[in-house]
Each structure stands twice: as C-alpha cells, then as structure tokens.
Amino acid sequence: MCSFFRKKQSLNDSTTELEQQLKEALTQKEIIEKNIEEIQKNFESDENKKVTEADDKELKEEAIDKDTSGSDESTKLIKELQSKITEQSNEIIRLNNELSKAAEKSSDSLLLEEINKISAMISERNEIAKENEYLHTKLDEKQERLEQIVHNCQEDRYRKDKGRLINRIIYQMDLIRNVIYDFDNEHPEDLSASVAFLRQQFLEIITYMEETLRAESVECIRLGKDGSAVDLELQEVTDVVITDKPELAGKVHRSIHPGYTWRLPYILKAKIKDDGSVVKDYDFLIRPEQVITYKLNK
C-alpha cells in the first residue's frame, strides 16, 4: 500500500512539472509571435519611407539595393523566429502527449494495478500453501510407515532373541515327558523307590522350566482331553488311534505335548480397538498343542 501512495505522489509531481513546462512554452510562443509582428510592421514602414524619398533613378536604385539588403536580413530573422516557433510547437505537442499519458494513469488504474499485483501474490502463496500441505501429508505418511517398520523390526528382533531360548527349553521338557510316559506305561508297578524318585525329579524339572517360561510371559496350553473336540487354531494332530465308536471319531485321544503361547507387548504403539479401548499386548502362538485323535475303524 505504501508503494501505491509513492507511485501516486510521483505521478502528481510529474503532471505538475509537465503543466509548468507547457505554460512556459506557450509564453515563449506568444513572445516570438509578437516579435514577428513588430518586425513586419517596421519592414513595411521603412519600405514606404525609402520609396517616397527617392528623387532620381540612382537614389531609387541605391534605396532599392539597401531595401533588398534589409529585406534579406528581415527574412532571415523571420525564418529563425519561425524555426523557434516550430520547435516550441513540437515541444508543446510532446508535453501534451505526456500529459495525456499521465491522465490515462489515474489513481483508480494505479489502485487496480496494485490490487492485481496483490491478487497474483495471494494466488502464488495459495499454491505454495497447497504444495506445503501436500508435502506435510506425504511426510506424515512416510513417518507412519517408518514407525511401522521400526515397530515390526523390534518385534521380530525381540521374538527371535527369546524364541530360540524358549524353543530349547520346550525341547528339553518334551524329552523328559517322553521318559515319564515310558515309566508310567512300560514298567510294572513294583519298581524300586529309586525309579519313583527319578520320575519325581523329572516332574520337578518340568515344573521348574515351565515357571521359567511363565516369567517370560510364555503360557502352557493343555486343552486335549480324552473325547474333547479338536481346536485347529491351538492344536495339531500328529497321530491317530483306531476306534470302533463312531461318537469318538475325529476327537482327541490324548495330548502328546502341550502348546505354548507368548504374550508380547506393542513396543512403539499400542493398538486401539473400534470401541476405543487400548490393547497393549498380544498372544503369539509359539507351538500348537500336539494331540492324537481317534479314527473310526471301517
């Protein structure tokens, strides 16, 4: 807006200066025209006077020669004055053109010009704002994607680090369970007390190992009971036994090895359900329960 007022003031000053120059040019033109009129009057008066006073031919010729000389000087002066008049007229025309151009650039047109500049500037800034918004959206998407990648990497690393230890412990417990099963089913009941003690030790080892796993948020799954339905999400069938009872076909005979689930935390960002509740951890199935099922004898 300050730029507009400065331009308007500069235009007013230029217009005033042009008007002053035009007035001076008109004044000079009037002075030159008056000088021409006086020279013409003097020339006519001198010519009449010289013709009347000449009495003889010699005097007339002499007078004519002098008059001719005077007439040449007057003509030269008139031409010079006319040239000056032409120059002043051209200057007046130039000044009039400048005034016309200045008049065309009125305050309203200058204001409109400033408004157009401001409008163009606003449009440019709007384009920049839209581009910034687009870049912010893309940046947020990239940031969210990066967080998801980091979250997945940390979860995978956390799971792999402890998964190896957990699987080794599970394997050892499976071996001990196999030994216990052999003692229960392959040896007579009158075994010595040492065998009973050994079995008890094995049971304690398993209990201790399961407590160790429980401290790491690993839970044991024992769902398989004789005659229970198979849960395919948490159990896998490793063997079958033949039965003549149709009602037992496809159902669990016994559990060979229990399953294990591992409760893991959401490391970077908790999960939010549709109802707004926050889930801070989830259960990861390390191994399903291994069961033997009944198969109908056909």
- pLDDT tens column, 187-216: 656 667 667 777 877 888 888 888 888 888
Count Cα neighbours of 99 within 13 Å in the Cβ-side half-sphere.
14
| Phi, psi at 291, each rounded to 5° | -130, 160
Residue 110: strand pairing partners = none
Whether 286 and 166 have beta carbons less than 8 Å apart is answered as yes
pLDDT score, position 64: 44
Of 291, 233, 289, nearest to 259 (Cα)?
289
And the tokens for 179?
């030994």
Of 240, 238, 215, nearest to 290 (Cα)?
238
* pLDDT band (50, 70, 90) for residue 63: very low
Does the pLDDT at position 180 exceed 70?
yes
* pLDDT band (50, 70, 90) for residue 72: low
> Could you tell me if residue 226 is left (phi over 0), alpha (psi between -120 and 50 degrees) or otherwise beta?
beta
* pLDDT band (50, 70, 90) for residue 28: low
If DSSP codes are grouped into helix, strand and coil, which group holds residue 231? coil
Taking the CA atoms of residue 94, residue 98, residue 99 and residue 101 in that order, the dihedral angle to the nearest 10 degrees is 140
| Contacts of residue 58, Cβ cutoff 8 Å, sequence gap at least 6 | none
pLDDT score, position 250: 92
What is the chain's percent helix, strand, coil content, to nearest 5? 70, 15, 15
If DSSP codes are grouped into helix, strand and coil, which group holds residue 255? strand
The pTM (predicted TM-score) of the whole model is 0.41
* pLDDT band (50, 70, 90) for residue 298: confident
pLDDT score, position 257: 94
* pLDDT band (50, 70, 90) for residue 146: confident
Give the start-to-end residue ranges of the domains of the chain.
Answer: 2-105, 220-298
pLDDT score, position 149: 85
Higher per-residue pLDDT: 4 or 176? 176
SS (H, E, C) 27-86: HHHHHHHHHHHHHHHHHHHHHHHHHHHCCCHHHHHHHHHHHHHHHHHHHHHHHHHHHHHH
Whether 268 and 147 have beta carbons less than 8 Å apart is answered as yes
Of 247, 208, 212, nearest to 226 (Cα)?
247
Whether 274 and 246 have beta carbons less than 8 Å apart is answered as no
pLDDT score, position 8: 46
Q: Mean pLDDT throughout 132-145?
A: 86
Extract the runs of DSSP E, i.e. beta strands, from the chain: 218-221, 235-243, 252-257, 259-265, 271-272, 278-279, 281-287, 289-296
Whether 162 and 216 have beta carbons less than 8 Å apart is answered as yes
Higher per-residue pLDDT: 164 or 86? 164
